[in-house]
């Protein structure tokens, strides 16, 4: 049974009887976009003038983390404000892989009993819409069952069949994207999702709304418009670079240079989408009362088995990428533009995707019973230059193997120290991120007291959220 999304509401901005119109929310979620995949975050290869424009008018978080190095767990955290381990969605749905350990059991859909952010805004009188990638369950567990009154182009998989019409893969039907049959034969998926987002803005201009535009981009399959691919092919050919292009990461290797022309074209199309959203909000006279959030669901795809060739991006100076608990897998971009937020501000407070649920509620003027979110803290005060939330530690639980070569692992960040525990061997690594952002100098042997303290915290936290653990594989040889 689906429980009500709210228990006790206090509406700080009066519903229909006050002089202040309620704030709208647009949350743009990009799939697999790395921390340094935009100009404002430091890329010198990708061109993102509209994302940079958003950052200039909002706040940019430089130490923002996703709750997981893969998509479904992070998306569960965005929807619930809970850690993925608490809702038992710790792997990307469909990620079945074993090794020395049998991966921890996990749920293949977000339980209907969970109170989602969509339900919170819907029950507060907002029009709610969800467009694009979901990957939190199939039929009966899609956005329309989780508080979103309008749903468009949501398939049952973690990627599209194709970015080009008819947006299908004849050999993998679960990836086919619905609702797009009437598209022009030259249509590109990122553009079509944006078209529908603009229609939603037009349709609900006279009422408060909460819209999630969840792009399939920049996830594989890597496909961009020919003109953009050609543009970046020429740009890549003109690069004057020295040094190695890859480095070893266990059995895998990591790309060290941003140079993929197709991936770059996908990023530019995504940037154009952001620009169209910002322009439409301005044209409708809603830009000063609409919160815009731009976020990724995990780090960039830069680390793959050594035999692979189609590496999407590079996360340097961060180590590794998607699928790993090194910084490259979990540090991601977050930009928030909101009334009262400091334009062009840079916020270095460590934060996580779990925090966006309470943050958006507070920014919108809505306060609810704390039973609704157990793990996140509001970042609203930071947007206006206030105090950082009172929180000592961040935790990650990834008891799974990943196609990038990662093995089951967990991590904790406490202050500037970060400890990674490898669950196959119980070995640990310790890094001081303040002086070693690239996680090159393992301090575990030199600082055993810190290791013991952080390991005890990580173990206690796993117990507190009833985290499911991997088990020995009896068939492992």
The pLDDT value recorded for residue 16 is 38
Query: If you ran DSSP here, which 8-state letter would residue 436 be given?
Result: -
Encode pLDDT of 187-225 as tens digits. Answer: 999 999 999 999 999 999 999 999 999 999 999 999 999
| pLDDT over 80 (residue 3) | no
How far apart (Å, rounded) are the C-alpha atoms in residues 213 and 211? 6
So what's the pLDDT on residue 2? Answer: 54
For position 11, what pLDDT does the model report? 40
**Alpha carbon distance 50, 350 (integer Å):** 25
pLDDT for position 193: 98
Lowest mean pLDDT among 3-7, 22-26, 137-141, 327-331: 3-7
Which of 123-132, 232-241, 393-402 is predicted least confidently? 232-241
**Has residue 102 got a pLDDT over 90?**
yes
Distance CA 382, CA 375 (A): 18
Lowest-confidence range among 9-18, 228-237, 414-423? 9-18
Tell me the pLDDT tens digit for each residue of 393-410. 999 999 999 999 999 999
Residue 7, pLDDT above cutoff 90: no
Q: Residue 244 has what pLDDT? A: 85
With bands split at pLDDT 50, 70 and 90, how would you rate the model's confidence at 371? low
Percentage of the residues of the chain whose pLDDT score is greater than 90? 91
The dihedrals phi and psi of 285, each to the nearest 5 degrees, come to: 70, 30
pLDDT tens-digit series, residues 423-463: 999 999 999 999 999 999 999 999 999 999 999 999 999 99
Could you tell me the two tokens for 164? 């080009």
Report pLDDT for 243: 82
pLDDT of residue 374: 81
CA distances from 442 to 405, 431, 445, 447 (A): 20, 6, 8, 10
Predicted confidence (pLDDT) per residue in 169-195, tens digit: 999 999 999 999 999 999 999 999 999
Q: What is the pLDDT of residue 309?
A: 84
Q: What pLDDT is stored for residue 241 in this prediction?
A: 82
**What are the angstrom distances between the C-alpha of 302 and each of 14, 272, 314, 319?**
47, 23, 5, 9
pLDDT higher than threshold 70 for residue 229: yes
pLDDT value, residue 367: 72
Averaged confidence pLDDT in the chain? 94
Band (pLDDT 50/70/90 cuts) for residue 242 is confident
Domain architecture of the chain: domains with CATH: 21-391 (3.40.720.10)
Specify the DSSP class assigned to residue 99: S
Torsion sign, CA atoms 24, 30, 35, 37: negative
Going by pLDDT thresholds of 50, 70 and 90, the confidence category of residue 15 is very low
- Burial (CB < 10 A; 0-12, 13-18, 19+), residue 227, is exposed
Structure tokens at 223: 């496909």
Cβ(4)–Cβ(116) below 8 Å: no
Q: If you average pLDDT over residues 53-71, what whole number do you get? A: 98
CB 363 within 8 Å of CB 23? yes
Q: What pLDDT was estimated at residue 369?
A: 56
Q: Kindly tell me if the per-residue pLDDT of 12 is higher than 90.
A: no
């Amino acid at each position: 049974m689906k429980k009500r999304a709210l228990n006790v509401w206090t509406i700080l901005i009066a519903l229909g009887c006050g002089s202040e119109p309620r704030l709208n929310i647009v949350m743009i979620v990009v799939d697999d976009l790395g921390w340094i995949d935009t100009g404002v975050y430091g890329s010198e290869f990708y061109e993102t003038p509209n994302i940079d424009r958003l950052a200039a008018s909002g706040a940019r978080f430089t130490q923002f983390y996703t709750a997981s190095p893969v998509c479904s767990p992070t998306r569960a955290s965005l929807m619930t404000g809970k850690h993925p381990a608490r809702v038992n969605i710790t792997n990307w749905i469909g990620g079945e892989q074993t090794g020395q350990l049998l991966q921890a059991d996990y749920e293949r859909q977000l339980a209907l009993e969970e109170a989602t952010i969509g339900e919170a805004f819907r029950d507060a009188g907002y029009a709610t819409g969800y467009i694009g990638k979901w990957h939190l369950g199939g039929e009966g567990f899609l956005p329309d069952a989780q508080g979103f009154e309008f749903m468009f182009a949501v398939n049952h998989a973690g990627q599209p069949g194709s970015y080009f019409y008819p947006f299908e893969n004849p050999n993998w039907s679960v990836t086919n994207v619905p609702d797009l049959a009437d598209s022009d034969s030259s249509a590109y998926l990122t553009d079509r999702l944006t078209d529908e987002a603009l229609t939603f803005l037009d349709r609900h201009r006279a009422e408060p709304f909460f819209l999630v535009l969840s792009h399939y981009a920049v996830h594989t399959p890597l496909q961009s418009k020919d003109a953009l691919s050609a543009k970046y092919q020429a740009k890549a050919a003109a690069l004057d670079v020295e040094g190695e292009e890859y480095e070893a990461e266990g059995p895998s290797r990591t790309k060290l240079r941003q140079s993929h022309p197709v991936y770059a074209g996908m990023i530019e199309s995504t940037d154009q989408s952001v620009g169209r959203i910002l322009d439409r909000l301005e044209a409708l006279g809603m830009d000063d009362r609409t919160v815009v959030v731009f976020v990724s669901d995990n780090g960039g795809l830069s680390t793959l088995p050594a035999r692979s060739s189609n590496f999407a991006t590079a996360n340097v100076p961060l180590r590794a990428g998607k699928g790993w608990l090194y910084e490259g897998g979990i540090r991601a971009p977050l930009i928030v533009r909101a009334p009262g937020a400091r334009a062009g501000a840079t916020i270095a407070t460590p934060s996580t995707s779990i925090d966006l649920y309470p943050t958006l509620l507070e920014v919108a003027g809505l306060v609810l019973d704390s039973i609704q979110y157990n793990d996140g803290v509001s970042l609203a005060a930071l947007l206006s230059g206030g105090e950082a939330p009172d929180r000592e530690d961040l935790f990650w639980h990834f008891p799974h193997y990943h196609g990038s070569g990662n093995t089951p692992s967990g991590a904790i960040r406490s202050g500037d120290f970060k400890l990674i525990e490898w669950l196959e061997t119980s070995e640990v690594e310790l890094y001081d991120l303040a002086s070693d952002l690239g996680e090159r100098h393992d301090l575990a042997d030199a600082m055993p007291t810190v290791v013991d303290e952080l390991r005890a915290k990580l173990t206690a936290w796993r117990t507190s959220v009833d985290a499911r653990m991997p088990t020995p594989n009896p068939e492992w040889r």
